[in-house]
Amino acid sequence: MTLLKKNLEALKKNNPDLAKKAESTEIPGNIRINRSKSGFPVLKLDGLHLNSPYDPIKEAKNWISRHSCEIEDGEPVVLLGLGLGYHLLELLKHTERKVFVVEPNMEIFRAAIEYVNMGSCLSRVKFFINKDIDKLYEEIPFKYLKYREKYNINILKHTPSLKSNNEYFDSFLKRFEALKRSSNLRLKILVISPIFGGSYPISKYCVSALKRLGHNVDFLDNSPYYKTFKSLENITDEKNNVAQLRSIYINLLSEVIFARAIQVKPDFIFALAQSPLTLELPKRLRELNIPLAYWFVEDFREMSYWREIAPLCDFFFTIQRGEFFRNLKEIGVSNFYYLPLACDPEFHKKVFLTTEEEKERYKCDISFVGAGYYNRRNSFLRLLDFNFKIWGSEWDLSSPLSKNIQNQGRRIEPEEYNKIFNSSKINLNLHSSTYHQGVNHFGDFVNPRTFEIASSGGFQLVDYRSELHKFFKIGEEIICYRDADELREKIEYYLKHPKKREEIARKGQQRALQEHTYENRMKEMIAFVLERSSDRLIKDNRFNGNNLEKLIKEAGRNSELVNFLSEFKDTREIELKEIVKEIKKGEGELTKVENIFLLMDSFVH
């Protein structure tokens, strides 16, 4: 049996997809395998030796003796660059742990498994070959950087590989550094909300999350302007004139954003979809040297205004990728990043209803929370025979569903969601569509409701989406359906199996709380901003002086002060105004420490 077959057999056991790809890959002409002076195969790529032409084994041994001290206990080991694998084999002798290898070149991998005996090491190694950086960071262990606090990875570099693929590894390391750095930085961020709509509560969750991460957040809440905005449609019946009035109003609100930006001088602005930004505003912000990050939490196929806004933003975040990314590239946008929606555990949580009135109000077998989009109005007619309650606005009160629609179809506040999610046996989730009868079989992004129900500990049935399996294990942490028939089947099944519902809901909640919170998303968002920014944001650590850990350390033996500062355990960075706010909230006699902080505050105000 050739080395290749032997290696492929071993690889198939752990990674059959990779084995298949490697098998079908041919070694191209720019890769030459020669013999070293010591008789071992060495790889030359475009004329550059990736291994020592004299003694690749000795070279690998020397390499590991230089770098073995960098391997810290408990942290995963990642090798950047494979070469022909000599370094990998030496590395495996020095650690018991699983090793991860990142190699962008499939041909090199093919060469490695063809010419070098990998043997049993293949079971201990997870290979990421030719993996897109974004997708790479969705894999373990890299994805843990996004949401595990103080998580670190031992990075060992195969320098010749890095030189041969500079761009790829540069991107990888920039992302890595940015993710690590984003935990320690405290930035000043101006968050802009929309005037109304589904993305409005998302903007508030983002603000809370950013604050919990320790950033200094200024929130420009545009919701007070909704009433006036809405009233414009009553001024005239002429639609063009209404549009004109709205445009003028949006211009004004854009000036409000500009004025606030001058006042606040943020490190960057974070705007949500439907924020009242004119197309002129990003340019003016650039003149102020304030980067604009925009989170487009819309279906790009439904809302096309991304074509105008995306090229103007410094960072563009999306809830879809694939085709959307291709489209963005086509219009010259490069700083885009896939950032899915999430939940806010402080808001979306389990609640227990105490009054009989509330229990009566919310209790049901199946609930649905959301607006009466076309596909929902159709699909739900199939469920009329169930104990089914519908909450939300824009439903047709004259339809047969009218008896299921609660509160005369008035819009409900997010505060009520948790009560509904925890009172129904099954929470129905159907992604909206204005043109599908029911389920959109090509639907990709996952709506916020999916995460919110999971976070609150409710059991849900959600229509299948192509990205869904990235967030939850289907069948274990969440249950899907692909059409109305399957939906009915699963409703009947799960109504009869409460324990299974509980188990799945519990696991789904665990997953949501661990990985899919707005805190994690905001951390990622900031990491991307840092990654793609000039060094200013990284170097100019203006708030580092008030990192809480540092302050406590600096307080040293002053136990009064240490004890006081330690009370701010949920904060990473702290400012005087937050300290004063907490002091004023307190009760009882003020301590000396508190009085001195109040005195400091009196100097400033």
User: For binding to another protein (CB under 8 A), which residues are involved?
Assistant: 542-543, 545-546, 550-551, 554-555, 558, 561, 565, 574-576, 579, 588-590, 592, 595-600, 602-604
Given the complex with another protein, which of 133 and 596 has the nearer CB atom?
A: 596
Q: Which is nearer to another protein, 97 or 181 (CB)?
A: 181
Q: Which is nearer to another protein, 304 or 558 (CB)?
A: 558
What distance in Å separates the CA atoms of residue 515 and residue 521, rounded to the nearest whole number? 9
Least distance between another protein and beta carbon 217 (Å): 15
The nearer residue to another protein, 238 or 540, going by C-beta atoms, is 540
Give the single-character DSSP code of 36: -
Nearer to another protein, 441 or 592 (CB): 592
- CA distance linking residue 124 with residue 198, whole number of Å: 46
**Cross-strand partners of 48:** 45
CB of 544 vs another protein, minimal distance in Å: 8
Distance, CA of 54 to CA of 313 (rounded, Å): 51
The CB-of-590 to another protein minimum distance in angstroms stands at 5
Q: How far is the CB of 291 from another protein (least distance, A)?
A: 19
The smaller minimum CB distance to another protein, of residues 395 and 597, is found at 597
Report in angstroms the alpha-carbon separations of 521 from 213, 516, 528. Answer: 11, 7, 11
Rounded to a whole number of angstroms, the minimum distance from the CB of residue 575 to another protein is: 8
Contact 285, 269 (CB under 8 A): yes
In sequence order, which residues have a C-beta less than 8 Å from that of residue 469 and are 6 or more positions away? Answer: none
Structure tokens at 543: 């708030």
Instruction: Look up tokens 């509330």; give the residue.
Output: 358
Smallest separation (angstroms) from another protein to the CB of 566 = 13
Minimum distance, C-beta of residue 540 to another protein, in the bound complex (Å) = 10
Q: Which is nearer to another protein, 327 or 546 (CB)?
A: 546
- Could you please report the per-residue DSSP string of 547-588? BHHHHHHHHTT-HHHHHHHHT-TT-SB--HHHHHHHHHH--S
Find residue 295's DSSP bridge partners.
272, 317
Alpha helices in 265-373 (DSSP H): 281-287, 306-309, 323-330, 356-362
Q: How far is the CB of 183 from another protein (least distance, A)?
A: 18
**Cβ nearer to another protein, comparing 417 with 543:** 543
Minimum CB separation of residue 562 from another protein in Å reads 10
Shortest spacing between CB 77 and another protein, in angstroms: 36
CB of 206 to another protein, least distance (A): 23
6 close to 117: Cβ distance less than 8 angstroms: yes
Asked if residues 154 and 176 have their Cβ atoms less than 8 Å apart, the reply is no
Under a CB-based contact definition with an 8 Å cutoff, are residues 229 and 252 in contact? no
Cα separation, 194 vs 15, whole angstroms: 45
User: How crowded is the C-beta side of 166, counted as CA atoms within 13 Å?
Assistant: 1
Kindly tell me which of 267 and 519 has the beta carbon lying closer to another protein: 267
The CA-atom distances, in angstroms, between 51 and each of 303, 381, 564 are 51, 67, 57
Distance CA 590, CA 196 (A): 43
Which residue, 71 or 552, has its beta carbon nearer to another protein?
552
C-alpha distance from residue 369 to each of 410, 413, 426 (Å): 11, 11, 12
User: 226 or 568, CB closer to another protein?
Assistant: 568
- CA 245, CA 594: separation in Å to the nearest integer? 52
